[in-house]
């Protein structure tokens, strides 16, 4: 099992290097503005630091690209990151792959191409198509349960990843929820208001339900896959952990340790429960299993 | 520009053709986004269409079969025989969202027309061209968030054989299609997996109802009387909690319906070939009334040679649309020009 930390801030990326993951995914798949801002922060020094540590870097690209110009812009910038030392591109819109093949074929041929979580992957037929398109890794959809993931059969040359730890990305929009709350429904020139004004929303009894994060709606609970790893039939090769901010390093470090132990099969039931309790304490957020053991429903999503 | 009407069953197809639709879409009992509906007369079997489809084709009518779910491995294996039989019918095409499903369809039948579902989320010319190269598409239904200028770009850059369809009338939604998991997270009901969050399906689950309607802050009997087909968590009111602690109440988005009567000439000028009306679960008379209003407006726009801006549809047509909507005054344009939705602070409005 390999472990990948996903972040959209360069200082968080540098912090993540200390955890020695196998790879770091850098960028944003839900918001093109956040993605571009993350890429603007990237430095040659950070790339060199990852390279020296033997940690692969992948550029995360957005899904919602609604014009040819926007596709070309992000394909070009992702290709530039590969030219600067990134190892591959996480593609979330097939148009970006098309633009890469057309405009930067040398990058499309040499970079490791990964189908991101926004390429809805629910079955082995999807995996077969993605492999034929040139992808070397694909991401299981968060709605699949453990049995559904275990049933997936990746073709030779294609590995499978899934969310290991982090908030569930439940939806995203072209409209920015945070800017909209500020009375600004236009979606550009936001100054990344999502960073400052992210808002947890709850039911009438104040039980947290969602978090508005810019254009994205996330779960307030943190998803953790540790409890399901033994049931995945060895299908998953990469677990993704989300590090939203450098301050979350201790939380992700705890999650990484738990997932490593769970993947190695060294945890009995009591140790797993202890590990989850430690993680919940480190993260300040409750944990959830998402859809791994069936669709969660309100009771699971909101249980305190 | 043709009208594509939502048919809940075979009987509805005939009624909607009679009301003026050139085309209808219908779901099979499995493998689409409404398979878990508790409405007994929704969807059809392939066998039911074997006699009817040739007749409709002979009359020059177009029938699309929607297979817009995202099956797991088990579902995809189950679907093969039904897909094969459906693709062999004399139909205008299959509507498909999932890559694996597209691959199975093309493996079974190289010639049946295939249109990308709105659930595929395909949103730029490069993406559609990429999928066309793999699966040979006959059309695409664009996501709601696409602007009119982007529709025009698609028309310029896509081959003419790929018809562009947009949502003309239906529920407006703020979130990217095929990427919204709010229902599965809160309601045990995934749109991609065929779930619909129907209120009646939750009727026996008092705990779930208590939570959900607390979230929605609506009165269940009133909601049901208003004819809500599905519960959408994004339509609820929520309280701002831990991060600000200021007791704000937020409506995630407005209760709005897309209605594009006024935009018909603009849509035609942008290259829209087919206007989709949503609502396979709605009663047939209601859908037929909507179809008739759009039929009248399209014919009027063509007869007048209406310019893209300033088209004034017959007020009776707009009234026909409003008559059946829950939120009578909340008909809006799609996202064709701007974001019509706003996540709003409604603390004062929601205060007792």
Question: What count of Cα atoms within 13 Å lies in the side-chain half-sphere of residue B296?
Answer: 17
Selection from A119, A210, A133 nearest residue A168 by Cα: A210
CA distance A282 to chain B (A): 17
Nearest residue of chain A to residue B183 (CA atoms): A297
Non-local (6+) Cβ contacts of A292 within 8 A are A145, A146, A225, A227, A228
Closest CB from B126, B145, B176 relative to A99: B126
A210 near B CB under 8 A: yes
Contact residues on chain A for B101, CB-CB shorter than 8 A: 125
User: What local confidence, expressed as pLDDT, does residue A151 receive?
Assistant: 95
- Whether the per-residue pLDDT at A88 is higher than 60: the answer is yes
Name the β-bridge partners of A212.
A199, A217
Contact residues on chain A for B182, CB-CB shorter than 8 A: 170-171, 210, 217
Selection from A284, A279, A292, A219 nearest residue A252 by Cα: A279
Selection from A107, A98, A117 nearest residue A160 by Cα: A117
Rounded to whole angstroms, how far apart are CA atoms B316 and B319? 5
Calculate the CA dihedral of residues B173, B178, B182, B186 and round it to 10 degrees.
Answer: 130
The low-confidence residues of chain B, meaning pLDDT below 50, are: 217-227, 242, 244-245, 327-329
Reported as a single tens digit per residue, the pLDDT across A41-65 is 999 999 999 999 999 999 999 999 9
- Give the pLDDT band of residue A277 (cuts 50, 70, 90): very high
Nearest residue of chain A to residue B247 (CA atoms): A206
Closest CB from A127, A133, A298 relative to B186: A298
Rounded to whole angstroms, how far apart are CA atoms A131 and B202? 40
Closest CB from A63, A68, A96 relative to B153: A68
CB B250 within 8 Å of CB A201: yes
Q: What is the ipTM of this complex?
A: 0.95
Rounded to whole angstroms, how far apart are CA atoms B286 and A35? 44
List the structure tokens of B169: 């009338």
- Give the pLDDT band of residue A1 (cuts 50, 70, 90): very high
CB B162 within 8 Å of CB A129: no
CB B243 within 8 Å of CB B313: no
Greatest C-alpha distance within chain B: 64
Q: What DSSP line would sit under B292-342, residue for residue? A: HHHHHHHHHHHHHT--SS-----HHHHHHHHHT-SSTT-EE--TTSS----
Selection from A183, A155, A4, A218 nearest residue B100 by Cα: A155
Rounded to whole angstroms, how far apart are CA atoms A61 and A8? 11
Reported as a single tens digit per residue, the pLDDT across A256-272 is 999 999 999 999 999 99
Task: Say what the pTM is.
Answer: 0.94
Evaluated on CA atoms B231, B232, B237, B243, the torsion sign reads positive
Contact residues on chain B for A172, CB-CB shorter than 8 A: 175-176, 179
Name the β-bridge partners of A199.
A212
Burial class (CB in 10 A: 0-12, 13-18, 19+), B245: exposed
Rounded to whole angstroms, how far apart are CA atoms B215 and A74? 38
Residues of chain B numbered 222-261 and touching chain A (CB < 8 Å): 234, 238-244, 248, 250, 252
B207 near A CB under 8 A: yes
CB B300 within 8 Å of CB B25: no
- Whether the per-residue pLDDT at A108 is higher than 70: the answer is yes
List the structure tokens of B89: 């019918």
CB B98 within 8 Å of CB A123: yes
A129 near B CB under 8 A: yes
Contact residues on chain A for B72, CB-CB shorter than 8 A: 122-123, 144, 148, 151
Reported as a single tens digit per residue, the pLDDT across B236-256 is 777 775 454 466 778 777 667
Helix (H) or strand (E) holding B282: none
Query: Can you tell me which residue has the tokens 């060294």?
Result: A266
Selection from B306, B70, B165 nearest residue A142 by Cα: B70
Name the β-bridge partners of A201.
A210, B240
Alpha helices in A182-248 (DSSP H): 193-197
Non-local (6+) Cβ contacts of A17 within 8 A are A24, A49, A50, A53, A55
Burial class (CB in 10 A: 0-12, 13-18, 19+), B214: middle
User: Phi and psi of B290, rounded to 5°?
Assistant: -65, -45
Neighbours of B39 (CB within 10 A): 15
Question: What count of Cα atoms within 13 Å lies in the side-chain half-sphere of residue B140?
Answer: 29
Is A125 close to B103, i.e. CB distance below 8 A? yes
Contact residues on chain B for A142, CB-CB shorter than 8 A: 181
Rounded to whole angstroms, how far apart are CA atoms A258 and A226? 7
Q: Which of A2-11, A172-181, B302-311 is predicted least confidently?
A: A172-181
List the structure tokens of B82: 């039904």
User: What local confidence, expressed as pLDDT, does residue B196 receive?
Assistant: 63
């Amino acid at each position: 099992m390999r472990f990948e930390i996903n972040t959209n801030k360069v200082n968080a990326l540098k912090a993540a290097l200390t955890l020695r993951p196998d790879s770091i995914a850098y960028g944003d798949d839900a918001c093109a503005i956040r993605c571009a801002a993350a890429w603007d922060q990237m430095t040659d020094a950070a790339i060199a630091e990852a390279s020296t540590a033997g940690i692969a870097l992948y550029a995360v690209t957005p899904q919602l690209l609604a014009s040819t110009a926007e596709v070309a812009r992000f394909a070009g910038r992702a290709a530039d990151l590969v030219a600067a030392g990134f190892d591959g591109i996480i593609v979330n819109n097939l148009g970006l792959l098309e633009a890469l093949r057309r405009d930067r074929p040398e990058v499309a041929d040499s970079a490791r191409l990964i189908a991101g979580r926004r390429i809805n992957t629910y079955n082995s037929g999807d995996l077969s198509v993605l492999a034929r398109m040139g992808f070397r890794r694909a991401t299981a959809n968060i709605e699949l349960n453990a049995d559904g993931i275990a049933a997936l059969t990746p073709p030779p040359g294609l590995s499978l990843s899934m969310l290991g730890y982090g908030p569930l990305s439940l939806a995203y929009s072209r409209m920015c929820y945070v800017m909209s709350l500020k009375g600004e429904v236009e979606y550009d020139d936001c100054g990344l208001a999502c960073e400052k004004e992210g808002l947890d929303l709850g039911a009438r009894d104040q039980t947290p339900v969602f978090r508005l994060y810019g254009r994205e709606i996330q779960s307030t609970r943190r998803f953790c896959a540790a409890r399901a790893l033994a049931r995945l039939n060895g299908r998953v090769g990469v677990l993704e952990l989300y590090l939203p901010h450098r301050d979350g390093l201790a939380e992700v470090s705890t999650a990484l340790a738990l997932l490593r132990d769970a993947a190695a099969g060294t945890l009995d039931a009591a140790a797993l429960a202890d590990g989850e309790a430690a993680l919940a304490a480190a993260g300040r957020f409750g944990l959830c299993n998402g859809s791994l053991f069936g669709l969660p429903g309100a009771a699971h999503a909101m249980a305190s | 520009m043709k009208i594509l009407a939502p048919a809940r069953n075979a009987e509805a197809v005939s009624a909607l053709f009679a009301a003026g639709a050139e085309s209808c879409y219908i779901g099979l009992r499995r493998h689409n986004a409404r398979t878990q509906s508790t409405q007994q007369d929704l969807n059809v079997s392939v066998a039911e269409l074997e006699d009817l489809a040739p007749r409709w084709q002979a009359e020059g009518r177009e029938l699309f079969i929607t297979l817009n779910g995202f099956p797991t491995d088990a579902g995809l294996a189950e679907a093969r025989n039904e897909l094969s039989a459906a693709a062999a019918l004399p139909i205008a095409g299959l509507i498909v969202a999932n890559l694996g499903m597209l691959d199975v369809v093309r493996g079974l039948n190289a010639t049946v027309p295939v249109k990308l579902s709105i659930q595929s989320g395909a949103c730029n010319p490069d993406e559609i061209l990429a999928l066309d190269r793999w699966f040979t598409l006959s059309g695409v239904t664009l996501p709601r968030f696409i602007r009119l200028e982007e529709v025009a770009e698609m028309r310029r850059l896509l081959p003419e054989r790929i018809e562009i369809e947009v949502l003309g009338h239906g529920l407006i939604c703020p979130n990217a299609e095929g990427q919204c998991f709010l229902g599965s997270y809160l309601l045990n009901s995934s749109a991609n997996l065929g779930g619909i969050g129907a209120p009646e399906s939750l009727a026996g689950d008092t705990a779930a109802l208590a939570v959900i309607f607390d979230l929605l802050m609506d009165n269940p009997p009133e909601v049901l009387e208003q004819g809500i087909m599905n519960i959408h968590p994004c339509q609820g009111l929520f309280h701002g909690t831990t991060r600000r602690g200021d007791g704000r109440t937020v409506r995630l988005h407005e209760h709005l319906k897309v209605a594009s009567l006024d935009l018909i000439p603009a849509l035609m000028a942008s290259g829209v070939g087919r206007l989709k009306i949503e609502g396979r679960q709605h009663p047939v008379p209601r859908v037929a009334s909507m179809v008739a209003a759009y039929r009248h407006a399209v014919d009027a726009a063509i007869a007048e040679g209406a310019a893209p801006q300033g088209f004034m549809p017959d007020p009776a047509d707009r009234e026909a649309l409003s008559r059946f909507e829950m939120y009578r005054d909340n008909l809006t344009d799609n996202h064709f020009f701007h974001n019509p939705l706003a996540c709003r602070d409604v603390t004062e409005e929601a205060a007792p």
